[in-house]
Amino acid sequence: MTTRFRFDLWTFVLIAAWIVLLILLVWPLSSILRASLLDNDTGAVSLVHYIQIFTTKVYQRAIGNTFIAGIGGMTGALILGVTLAFVTTRFHIYGRAIIQTLAVIALVAPPFIGAYAWIVLFGASGVVRKGLATISVSIPPLYGVAGVILVFSFKFFPHVFLITSGALGAINRSVEEAAESLGVSPMKRLFTVTLPLILPAIAASALLTFVLSIADFGTPRIIGRDFNVLATEAFNLFGGEVGGNPGMASALSIVLIVLSMMIVFGQRWVLRKNVYYSNLMKKPERKRVIGLKAVGLHVLAYAIVLFGALPAIIVVLFSFRRTSGPVFQPGFSLQSYEKVIATVSAPIWNTLMFSSAAVVAIVISGTLIGYLISRRPNIATGTLDALLMVPYIVPGIVMGIAFITRFNDPPIALTGTGLIIILAVYVRRLPYSARSVAASLKQVGPSLEDAAVSLGYSPGKAFMKVTVPLIVPGILAGGLMSFVTAMNELSSSLVLYVGSTITMPVRIYLSVMDGEYGTASALSTILLTMTAVAVYAAFHLSGRKESALL
Amino acid sequence: MADLKIQGLAKSYKDVRVLESIDLDIASGEFFTLLGPSGCGKTTLLRTIAGFQSQDKGEIIVKGERIGTKPAHKRDIGMVFQDYAIFPHLTVAENVAFGLKARSLPKAEIEQRVIESLKMVRLDGYQNRLPAEMSGGQQQRVGLARAMAIRPTLLLMDEPLSNLDAKLRIELREDIRDIQRRLGITTIYVTHDQEEALAVSDRICVMNKGHVEQIGTPFEIYRKPVRRFAAAFVGTMNFLPARLDGGNLVVGGQSVAYPHVEGSGEIEVAIRPENVLLAGGAGEGAAITLKGEVRKVTFLGREAHYTLKTEAGEIVAQVADPAHDFVTMEGRMVDIRLPLSKVALFRPNGDVVKAGSAR
């Protein structure tokens, strides 16, 4: 009977999903926990690493700095993102498509490109600083805490912008008009009605930007100088430039995960009773403004997105500049590209191969797991769903360390292979795919399948003929976005790569660290182009909804 | 054409009994409506007939064949959904052809039936539209055409009009009724709107808390309710506490001879607003007479509603085509007559008191 077959198929999927997550998620992470609790020399169980963390100055500073980076990046991104969302949804702004495109460019540009481009502009020998110095305006070079927070703010604000734009566009205008008719001034209305209504969206984007900020490794590494955070400390201790201390690196990783978890629970607490349902009767309308106010609003909106997209623009421009060794010369040439093709083309192929392999696996298993979660709710799928939350809060660098500790020796020895890089990307991105499929399945609604059944199709056929065609564009768009993140993955790959499996982000990072800015620019431009093509395709497939890009 | 018998159908979710032993006998070509408040089990009953849910006990018999364990897609039942359930990725024509393709009909016949069905719901010319470009009313017409195109043995409709606005609702319900009459297809229609049920049905089944309260023609349900629930749910009904006292009916301080029933006990008097007579309005036969103060007059054009305060309780009366001085009588005392021929009596257990059977 068909029902029995279905039962067996989905039971198989459920068991397989559990096995995969236990091997690729729970088992590696348990190795970190274990290593953090063992004394490096004696091998005995001890809390020595944790005691050290809370008594050693450099680690205390790293924890404090991680908080500063997280809160600073989150605050900056929230201010920029909410402001831009408000201006573009409530006022008539010319060139909204341009604004959205620039925001998307900022969103998908590789994260460490931002740090590097800001150095090019405002670093010790930055273009803008030097230019200003000639007219005797002196600004401090952009290193340290201010630089990190600035980069995070302009890097992560598009997340906030896209999430809160959606929420602002879904507020019933009558609610705001009601407040106005009750005698509330527009400014007060913003704080007493509008902002509380979009609080869930703001809280969600706050969580996202905080977690992204504290997990980011490239930015503090490139621009932070002596601004050490947990991610960079863990990488240093693990990478073993000074001998290595895996126990300590693991303990710092655990602290980093705990920090992320605290924020997740904090967000849940803020939102514990702030879910509003509203029937959308009247869409908010964009007010036309004229004169000085209009100029101000346009300057504000364009300044935010231009600054956000600036790193990507700079990188593209610089990739065509003439170089002599590591130094840029006046004039343009294709020198950097020639050098990339002649000497470092391997990372391009590695990146394409690894990303494609990871994405194929992500799309297939993500779709099956997503269906399981949304259409067969029970205890086993519910806990699976909860387990899928874990990769959201485990920074890439931690996942990298966990993988290399666990998969270095038999039974599963993968160190130095491309497979370990693929698997790390796979487990990090799988939850996004599974959850987006689950969400789109919930939107399709079971009555469409019922209708097909009543017209004479068996349940299996009804699913194939009705539900699958409706969710396939979403699955493909999600797959392309997974491809984008896979191509741009730096932190876990940096721990896991060896010479033959080097990827583009790692190569770019190393070039920046070595001061080879020409090579870095050219490689970044190639990566950016590949990213842009994938994003455009995803955008097209998803019916031009920006929300698909999150 | 097919008749439908339902015998002893029961279903529970965990401890909640959603349907308790339902028996129905629906004739071929009948327009049969399941009417009741939300949660009364009407939708569960409909979805069980369709095969989307399975019963715990009982039989579903169509044309003499037991279909209780048949999978839904083999039952050959057309269904129209509350949320239309139009496939958004298919054009109107593809939606209507969807069920025909499952039956592997020849292409020419599919095309012809699609055109026929769309013409029937007055959507010819819309073949290549996508659902997103159509209004709710048009989408539901597509839903109806799609269900009828397969020429099903039964047509099931689950609150098909409740997402539409008032004017469209009346227009489409007339269309549904006309099409059903013309094709003579046995139809089971679920609604919570009593006016809609009265307007379209051959027979109505009033349901409450998983069981059947009353089955009858719209006239019987409205004029001769046998259960207090049906009387209260369909239309407006005044209920006054009263007492039977050895051949007399006592309402408030008034007593009137009521020889039809024997025995004594607490009961309720029920009367429709349009049967209440005001201020010496001409009436024949015995009646309960009360005095009441006019608390509120609601003028509705062709009629007016009076809320009256009497010693027995509040009464709503309806006067057709009210004269001018009828409209300005708030605060005045009036004589009220409740003709016994129009009154129904209900026992505390909800059953109607039939003549000669008070006990």
pLDDT band at A274 (very low <50, low <70, confident <90, very high): low
Flag whether pLDDT at A114 surpasses 80: no
Is the Cβ–Cβ distance between B269 and B249 less than 8 Å?
yes
pLDDT band at A168 (very low <50, low <70, confident <90, very high): confident
Same domain, B15 and B111: yes
pLDDT band at A240 (very low <50, low <70, confident <90, very high): low
Contact B83 A447 (CB under 8 A): yes
Is the Cβ–Cβ distance between B290 and B336 less than 8 Å?
yes
What's the 3-state SS for chain B? CCCEEEEEEEEEECCEEEEEEEEEEECCCCEEEEECCCCCCHHHHHHHHHCCCCCCEEEEEECCEECCCCCHHHCCEEEECCCCCCCCCCCHHHHHHHHHHHCCCCHHHHHHHHHHHHHHCCCCCCCCCCHHHCCHHHHHHHHHHHHHHCCCCEEEEECCCCCCCHHHHHHHHHHHHHHHHHHCCCEEEEECCHHHHHHHCCEEEEEECCEEEEEECHHHHHHCCCEHHHHHHCCCCEEEEEEEECCEEEECCEEEECCCCCCEEEEEEEECHHHCEECCCCCCCCEEEEEEEEEEEEECCCEEEEEEEECCEEEEEEEECCCHHHHCCCCCEEEEEEEHHHCEEECCCCEECCCCCCC
Q: Which domain holds residue A140?
A: 51-319
pLDDT tens column, A435-471: 888 877 877 777 888 899 999 998 888 888 888 888 8
Contact B89 A455 (CB under 8 A): no
Within 144-163 of B, beta carbons closer than 8 Å to A belong to 146-147, 150, 156
Within 455-514 of A, beta carbons closer than 8 Å to B belong to 455-459, 461-462, 465-466, 469-470
Nearest-by-CA chain A residue for B149? A455
Say if B174 falls within a structural domain: yes
Task: Name every chain B residue with its beta carbon within 8 A of the beta carbon of A456.
Answer: 73-74, 76, 99, 102-103, 150
* Closest alpha carbon to B215 in B77, B223, B207, A184: B207
Domain count across chain A = 2
Same domain, B244 and B221: no
What is the pLDDT, as a whole number, of residue A550? 54
Mean pLDDT over A404-416 rounds to 78
Same domain, B245 and B226: no
Per DSSP, the three-state class of A109 is: coil
Say if B87 falls within a structural domain: yes
Final residue belonging to a domain, choices B232, B254, B278: B232
Flag whether pLDDT at A167 surpasses 90: no
Mean pLDDT over A496-525 rounds to 85
What is the pLDDT, as a whole number, of residue B358? 37
Q: Is B72 on the interface with A (CB under 8 A)?
A: yes
Cα dihedral across residues B179, B180, B181, B183: positive or negative? positive
Mean pLDDT over A496-502 rounds to 84
Say if B356 falls within a structural domain: no
Tell me the two tokens of residue A3.
Answer: 């029902």
What is the pLDDT, as a whole number, of residue A547? 52
Per DSSP, the three-state class of A322 is: strand
What's the 3-state SS for B206-229? EEECCEEEEEECHHHHHHCCCEHH
Same domain, B152 and B213: yes
Q: Is B78 on the interface with A (CB under 8 A)?
A: yes
How far is CA B51 from each of CA A439, B67, B98, rounded to the nearest angstrom? Answer: 27, 9, 19
Q: Is B296 on the interface with A (CB under 8 A)?
A: no
* Distance (Å, whole) CA A236 – CA A243: 10
Final residue belonging to a domain, choices A285, A319, A353: A319
* Closest alpha carbon to B274 in B329, B338, B325, B230: B338
Q: Which domain holds residue B31?
A: 4-232
What is the pLDDT, as a whole number, of residue A4? 42
Nearest-by-CA chain B residue for A454? B73
Same domain, B68 and B202: yes
In total, the C-beta contacts within 8 angstroms joining chain A to chain B are: 66
* Distance (Å, whole) CA A33 – CA A246: 11
What is the pLDDT, as a whole number, of residue A41? 72
pLDDT tens column, B198-233: 999 999 999 999 999 999 999 999 999 999 999 999
pLDDT tens column, B145-157: 999 999 999 999 9
Whether ipTM tops 0.85, in short, is no
Least confident window among A360-374, B101-115, B246-260, B319-333: B319-333
What is the pLDDT, as a whole number, of residue A488? 85
What is the pLDDT, as a whole number, of residue B282? 62
Same domain, A86 and A20: no
pLDDT band at A6 (very low <50, low <70, confident <90, very high): very low
Task: Give the list of residues 6+ apart from residue A131 with CB closer than 8 angstroms, or none.
Answer: none
Contact A450 B52 (CB under 8 A): yes
Nearest-by-CA chain A residue for B152? A455
Same domain, B199 and B53: yes
Per DSSP, the three-state class of A512 is: helix
Element (DSSP H or E) covering residue A149: helix A145-169
Is the Cβ–Cβ distance between A53 and A251 less than 8 Å?
yes
Same domain, A467 and A342: yes
Flag whether pLDDT at A242 surpasses 60: no
* Distance (Å, whole) CA B223 – CA B212: 18
Tell me what percent of the residues of chain B surpass a pLDDT of 70: 96
For the range B196-200, what are the long-range contacts, defined as Cβ-Cβ under 8 Å and sequence gap of 24 or more? Answer: B196/B161, B196/B169, B197/B33, B197/B35, B197/B234, B198/B222, B198/B234, B199/B173, B200/B31, B200/B33, B200/B173, B200/B176
Flag whether pLDDT at A433 surpasses 80: yes
Mutate which of B73, B96, B150 to disrupt the A interface (most A C-beta within 10 Å)?
Answer: B73
**A19 vs A245, residue with greater confidence:** A19
Flag whether pLDDT at A278 surpasses 60: no
Say if A324 falls within a structural domain: no
Q: Is B98 on the interface with A (CB under 8 A)?
A: yes
Nearest-by-CA chain B residue for A466? B87
Tell me what percent of the residues of chain A surpass a pLDDT of 70: 92
Tell me the two tokens of residue A34.
Answer: 């274990």
What is the pLDDT, as a whole number, of residue B283? 64
Say if A42 falls within a structural domain: no
Nearest-by-CA chain A residue for B87? A448
Least confident window among B3-17, B109-123, B284-298, B320-334: B320-334
Same domain, A78 and A209: yes
Domain count across chain B = 2
Of A445, A456, A469, the CB nearest to B73: A456
Say if B342 falls within a structural domain: yes
Same domain, B90 and B175: yes
Q: Is B52 on the interface with A (CB under 8 A)?
A: yes
Say if B75 falls within a structural domain: yes
Is the Cβ–Cβ distance between B206 and B230 less than 8 Å?
yes
Task: Give the list of residues 6+ apart from residue A70 with CB closer than 8 angstroms, or none.
Answer: A210, A211, A213, A214, A259, A263
* Distance (Å, whole) CA A37 – CA A50: 8
What is the pLDDT, as a whole number, of residue B62? 94
CATH of residue B333 = 2.40.50.100
pLDDT tens column, A288-306: 877 888 898 999 999 999 9
Flag whether pLDDT at A81 surpasses 90: yes
Does residue A411 have a cis bond before it (omega within 30 degrees)? yes
Same domain, A279 and A381: no
Task: Name every chain B residue with its beta carbon within 8 A of the beta carbon of A448.
Answer: 85, 87
Q: Is B27 on the interface with A (CB under 8 A)?
A: no
Per DSSP, the three-state class of A275 is: coil
Say if A46 falls within a structural domain: no
Say if A140 falls within a structural domain: yes
- For the whole model, what pTM was predicted? 0.73
**A36 vs A343, residue with greater confidence:** A36
Is the Cβ–Cβ distance between A54 and A276 less than 8 Å?
no
CATH of residue A388 = 1.10.3720.10
* Distance (Å, whole) CA A2 – CA B288: 66
CATH of residue B82 = 3.40.50.300
What is the pLDDT, as a whole number, of residue A1? 35
pLDDT tens column, A313-330: 888 888 888 776 666 777
* Distance (Å, whole) CA A52 – CA B35: 73
Task: Give the list of residues 6+ apart from residue B320 with CB closer than 8 angstroms, or none.
Answer: B274, B302, B303
pLDDT band at A389 (very low <50, low <70, confident <90, very high): confident
Flag whether pLDDT at A276 surpasses 70: no
- Burial grade of B211 (CB within 10 A; 0-12, 13-18, 19 or more): middle
Flag whether pLDDT at A30 surpasses 60: yes
Mean pLDDT of chain A: 82
How far is CA A338 from each of CA A289, A521, B149, rounded to the nearest angstrom? Answer: 50, 12, 66
Mean pLDDT over B275-298 rounds to 83
Same domain, A463 and A517: yes
pLDDT tens column, A342-366: 777 888 889 899 999 999 999 999 9
